[in-house]
A and B are shown apart, each in its own frame.
Chain A
Amino acid sequence: MTDKKLTVQKQYERYPNSLPFFIALFAGIIGLYFLTSYICTFKGLSDMGFVLAKNAVSGILSPNVEKLFSLEESCVPYLLVETFAIAFLGTLVGAVLALPFAFFSSRNVTNSTCAYIGLTIISILRGFPTVLYGIIFVKIVGTGPFAGVLTMSISSMGMLTKLLIEAIEDVDKGVIEALDASGCSTFQKVRYGIIPQLSSNILSTIIYRLDINVKNATVLGLCAAGGIGAELIFSINGRRWHDCGAYLLGLVVLVLSLEFISTKIRKKLATGE
């Protein structure tokens, strides 16, 4: 600005050089093209692919009403209740397992070595695919929703621990010191210093995970561990599109309504009513 002979030409020359950006963009596009052609070999639709797609869309859009409302075991209402029950209990058991683990591996409760060990164990637990947990538990307790509950609890434990650690590491130590100074006992310190700070965070984490678990409960169908997943997968593989539409509609309604409720509750928890 101090330069009095500033002309448009000079200012224009100062414009940042965008050549490196375009070179990077070009390289990115070329790289993506090669990767895509390596992984995707599009040979047109499979035999009858077009007819299948048409049938699928029209079938899913006109769900089987009988399946949607009758109360038998292979119909939507019962399966949805079962799915919700699996997700609910799975989340609770997962939370119960995660709490001591989270306290063990948060830096302000124990030291950083413990935290490192805990985090590594959790990464490994999280890396193990859910389907394999399902297979192991089905081998132990047999097919059915109980295996689903166990699978859900182990697979949600990892993420719950990770989020709980963040909550615990956020605890304000000043409050505890203040309570200490006013002569509170240990129980009182926990009751009035720690629980009020943590409870809303922990609850909102658990509700958030419940949401995800209901969404992911379809996976349990792959290993016959209960819920709506098995029926959904069978109906797609058997090309019973009307039934598939009914299951999908049920799932969408359940997930969306649960998401709505959980967002409300979590907002309430975050702002303190």
Chain B
Amino acid sequence: MLKDLLHIFVPDTHELSNGKKVKEKFNSTPYIIIGILILIFICAVITDVDFAKFFKRFTKGWSFVLRMLDPKWSYWETARQAMLDTIIISFVGSAFGMILALPMSFYLSNNFKLNKYYILVHRSVLSIFRTLPTLVYALLLSLIIGYGTTSGTLATAIFTYTVAVKMLYEHIETVDMGAYEALESTGASRAKCMIKAIWPQIKGFYWSTVLYCFEMNIRSAAILGYVGAGGIGVKLNDTIANMDYERTGLLVLVLIVVVVVVETISRELRKKLVNG
């Protein structure tokens, strides 16, 4: 029994008929599995996981959900206005982020032989900024330039910029440089070469990134408003604080419908962009 167990962890040695000893290949899978199980156990202890409690007290959250499922339609005007604000915030934020990201991603890709150190520094700064969630930007900006839609738009633009630049320069590094070199040899300026040779190759990817960022920003809009940066999140926060869950229900319904519609449209458009 013990020998069988040991056989899983330690590779066996077989003796062949000609007296040669052959060792089995070392298999690390059992060790990894045991490590992950230990990690799960430690994490469960740290976070006091208690599923029994969850199922026992399940009905506690139920009344909240039930009240949300009965939305108050008289609140529609406010909900529509807040949602419109959110959509415009996401749109303008994505637009500014993406407009800034396009030239910057050319400067940050390695295949044009621009300044190596500048690229390295800018990329590291961007990757540090990318780790901070939108929430932190929105909080800081709304403290500095005041609560409202302006700080939400700015936070969205910054976040879009950090995410989009990385996606774009990684894509630009994979394009075919033949056309660029051909144009360069005719004496065209670098900017003209980029516009005429590289832009047509990344056009589809760029527009699909725009759609992706817009989708992501609409999704995170609820959180943005939560820290006072305008849009539907502010109203969500207010209604929950006032225990006015019927109104929350209507807001959530509007949000879900918009998210699903935007997602569907962007999926179809992106499919078209990829297939040309």
Contacts and interface: CB of A to CB of B under 8 A. Distances in A.
A167 interface: no
A169 to B, nearest CB: 15
Chain A interface, DSSP helix/strand/loop, else mixed: helix
Contacts of A36: 92, 153
B130 to A, nearest CB: 9
Contacts of B167: none
B46 interface: yes
B42 interface: yes
Contacts of B42: 85
Chain B interface, DSSP helix/strand/loop, else mixed: helix
B150 A252 contact: no
B73 to A, nearest CB: 20
B145 A237 contact: no
B61 interface: yes
Contacts of A124: 256, 260
Contacts of B236: 129, 131-132
Interface in B79-135: 85, 88-89, 91-92, 95, 127-128, 131-133, 135
Nearest to A226: B47
A239 B140 CA distance: 10
Interface in A182-223: 215-216, 218-219, 222
15 contacts: A40-B150, A43-B146, A45-B144, A45-B145, A49-B146, A53-B144, A82-B46, A126-B219, A127-B263, A129-B233, A136-B64, A146-B54, A232-B136, A248-B136, A259-B131
Interface of B: 39-40, 42-44, 46-50, 53-54, 57-58, 60-61, 64-65, 85, 88-89, 91-92, 95, 127-128, 131-133, 135-136, 139-140, 143-146, 148-150, 153, 219, 222-223, 226-227, 230, 233, 236, 240, 248, 252, 255-257, 259-260, 263-264
